[in-house]
Amino acid sequence: DKTGDTAANNPGQCETSIAFLGQNGICGWNDGQGFYLTPTDVQGWGYTTNGGQTWTDGGIPLKTGTTINYWSSDPVTCVNEKTGDFFYCGLTSNSGSNNNGVGIVRGHFAAGSYSQDLASMVSAGPSSSASYDKQWIAVDSLTGTVYVTWTLFTTSGNSIQFSRSTDNGATWSAPKQI
């Protein structure tokens, strides 16, 4: 929905990511009135239960139980084909001393609708010395392990980081450099 978007606000509907299991699917996207305005959520998501013929706009991804102030960019989605759990992953700005990081939301379909049931932080750090970018998420449907990678830019160098969750996204291993 581009209602209210103006060229002066640098609107962004881009960087889409879709995950499907049968007729059920979720999609994430950048949905901002500009990445240069007062910090606000610039990601959105939606779901379909009929193979993409129609979509329901889900609004802003879940933040409950986390330090996420707002979702800032780069949404990515995936699904555990064995359990039907869907995952939404994005860059975040977090409460505290100007932190940023990577967060996830888990959800599932039931009775023809989609519910987000968990939000968690994969990793976070102070914006003054660390910048997170281009995270990616995947889930191993055999074991249920969820994997996330991201680029970490720091004042002392840059690296690709990796973390995993063996409890369906509730907690995450300490990041390791790849």
User: What SS3 class is residue 167?
Assistant: coil
Q: Is the pLDDT of residue 53 over 90?
A: yes
Q: How far apart are CA 20 and CA 149, in angstroms?
A: 21
pLDDT, residue 22, reads 97
> What does pTM read for this prediction?
0.91
5: pLDDT confidence band, cut at 50, 70 and 90?
low
The pLDDT of residue 75 is 94
The dihedral through the CA atoms of 73, 132, 70, 167 has a sign that is: positive
- For the ranges 8-22, 63-77, 123-137, the lowest mean pLDDT is seen at 8-22
pLDDT band per the 50, 70, 90 thresholds, residue 175: very high
Instruction: Look at residues 169, 144, 138 and name the one whose alpha carbon lies nearest to residue 19.
Output: 138
